[in-house]
Amino acid sequence: VPRRADLDRQLAALEDDGATVLALGPLQEDAVRSLAADVLGSPPDAAVQDALEQAGGNPLYLVELLRQDGRAPVPSSLVRLVQRGLADLPARDMRLLQDAAVLGSTVVVADLAAVADLPVDETARACEDMVAAGVLVHDGGGTLRFTHDVVRQALVDSLSAPVLASLHERVAWRLAAHGSSPLRVAEHVLCSRPRPGDRRAVDWLRRAAAEQVRHAPSTAADLLGQALSLLAPDETDRAVLLAEHVEALLRAGAVDGARRAAEDGLSDQLPTDVRERLLVALTEARTAAGDLAGVLTSAGEVLATRQLSTAARARLLALVANAHDVLGQPAAADATALRAIDVAADDPLATRGRVMAQLVRADVARVTGDLERAVLLAEGVRLEEDERGPLSPWPPEVFVGMALYDADEMDRAERVVAEGLRRGHRWGRMTYQPTLHTIAAHVLASTGRWDDALSQARAALVLADDVELGFLQDWTRGIAAELLVRRGDLEEAQRILAPLTCTTDASTRPRVVLAQALLHEADGEESTAHRLLSSQWSLSAGSRPEVRALAVDTMRLALACGDEAATARVVSTMVDLTRSDDAMAGLRGLALLCRGMATGDVDVLLRAVEVLAGAPRVHELHTGRAQAGLALAAHGDDRAPTVLRAAVAGLEDLGARREVARTVAAARALGVEVGRPREARRPDSGPEALTPAEREVASLAATGLTNPQIGERLFVSPRTVQSHLASTYRKLGIRSRVQLAAMLSTPPR
């Protein structure tokens, strides 16, 4: 480099004489790992493999990187190697390459010309020379990139820190002058190490944040945090910038950071509008963290003692209403939500508070059994967002999905949740995305897809940790642990529940208590399990969804412990819930099941099974069959074996191993042999071990789609895709997408 004319003539002569030209492409992934293992003396770990990607498969660069164990920055030996290779370039081309390296991994010729202050045609010709020399390569769409990123990094590393900062500063302001996006300008502003008080840098960081906050709120929060660090405490617009930063942190799901920043920044010296924004943001952060008692105390005090704008008052009232709702106080929640709606009236600035209050009212309607109204209210917010974009921090699909789930409309619920995930990613509404995964887990569990339900629950827990969504921990851990106990995975269930030192919120506690009770029962502590569920039943009696989740196991354990008063309470509550003509088939079937269990009435139990067969909740149906079969066996009815075999087969399909074992043992005690439980139909490893969701993700990954592209295709988050792929790799015993594609393309023997 550069390619000399006499070399070109020599190569042409060789070809004319019949020489064979070998084009040496980059080493493939397997060869890179093999080379790395040779140099290092052991297979490279994931961190080393990631670092080696910047070599672009060039074996010389790979070896130089591996001498530094692959983890260090570009080693000085490689910097010198690259410099020697470029030493004969004209000075102009070398400056262009340095500018290109500072611009980033991909380069637009017009941008490079602007930064270098050269005509575009002259810059284009120089770039083509460097393409011919093999330093740059066309990347499609009018962009260029370095053939090997390690060359770009070596060029950057060869510059001293002051020179590099100066180059970034020149790049930033020349890009700004030529109309580049605020984000591109801001990236170089940050790399230029701006000094405190640099107002121009602050302005561009804020402009970039405003551009990003809707679809990339974490990026916006980072930019605003950097801008804040450049302003002195007494700067006039620092307070507004602080409010913008806290709000961006909330949108990104950095709940703890938002809360701390709001608490540290609040003071009576702030302008009234900024103080209101911080008070509302702090209350939203406490809501997301699950500090509902703190919401009621602090927001109640602010509402009682301060003059507030209509918008701030409406939002605070909506947050208080939500706290009452989650704490199991539907009457107070509905009344407070109505106040918020009245306060907001037609004020366009109070729209956020109004729609939040409407969603709370939707959830109150759901909890109290008016599912049609719940869907209508929440769908109203969805339709409004279709026209105007995101209006609430809470995805309305959460409320629609839960209402449809309670109404046994599982297909609609699944579609709504998928749409909520898609819109959340598009709109940057990340904080409550894990909630949608948890609802998906409930829908999948109820319709018999327990493997996929557990995958969704695990994805929800990972995302909830990422966005610091404290209130979701109980709810999600509860459903995951319940499924694991029913499958006999007791150790994992205990591990899932271990972080929950206490559970106090009424709406999230029932599933946790149910899982804990099932664990106690598995340990032979039936009386403890019964006491837990009986106590929770008394707390949950006013909530139809909670009662439905607890009914059968509460009844079963009460019967096992001979607690007639508890069985009577369950029957009475279930009968009350199904008095109305619009009671769903599944709920009516459960009420019949509880009544039949309490009385041992075979006809009632068989009628319960008949009704449950018309509802979509598979586990409830098979549980009903098991109870009916045992009752038939107790009466010596020759229909018992047929009913029990159907129950056991259905429970086996779910993987409910503990319930299969319990049913088989109870049947044997009554003189009916159902047969030994079959092994789980899905093995632990190999292609057959993949769940439908894992197989779908794997097939798309094998075609070369990235995690974000797969997420867009399936309406799930990239983290969910990552979770499915990690599970797939473990089951298949592989480590790469190349291996995945090879395995999926090989027909089974």
pLDDT in tens, 179-192: 999 999 999 999 99
384 CB-contact burial (10 Å; exposed 0-12 / middle 13-18 / buried 19+): middle
Identify the pLDDT of residue 503: 42
pTM of the complete model: 0.76
Rg, C-alpha atoms of the chain? 32
Q: List Cα–Cα distances, 330 to 111, 367, 368, 548, in angstroms.
A: 59, 8, 8, 18
Tokens of 176: 């700004």
User: Can you say how many angstroms the Cα of residue 475 is from the centroid of all Cα atoms in its chain?
Assistant: 15
CA angle, 286 then 291 then 293, to 5°: 115
Which residues have a Cβ under 8 Å from the Cβ of 208 and sit 6 or more positions away?
181, 182, 183, 185, 186, 220, 223
Return the bridge partners of 140, or none: 143
pLDDT tens digits, one per residue of 650-664? 999 999 999 999 999
Count of C-beta atoms within a 10 Å radius of residue 713: 13
Identify the pLDDT of residue 683: 67
SS3 143: strand
SS3 588: helix
- Helix (H) / strand (E) element for 146: namely strand 143-146
Return the bridge partners of 145, or none: 106, 137
Residues in the chain: 749
- Show the 3-state SS of 480-527: HHHHHHHHCCHHHHHHHHCCCCCCCCCCCHHHHHHHHHHHHHHCCCHH
708 preceded by a cis bond (ω within 30 of 0): no
Specify whether the CB–CB gap between 147 and 137 falls below 8 A.
yes
Identify the pLDDT of residue 716: 65
User: Can you say how many angstroms the Cα of residue 604 is from the centroid of all Cα atoms in its chain?
Assistant: 44
Residues in the chain predicted with pLDDT less than 50, given as ranges, are 502-508, 680, 748-749
Cα–Cα distance, 541 to 616 (Å, whole number)? 24
Count of C-beta atoms within a 10 Å radius of residue 745: 8
- Helix (H) / strand (E) element for 137: namely strand 136-140
Specify whether the CB–CB gap between 116 and 92 falls below 8 A.
no
Return the bridge partners of 347, or none: none
What is residue 106's DSSP assignment?
A: E
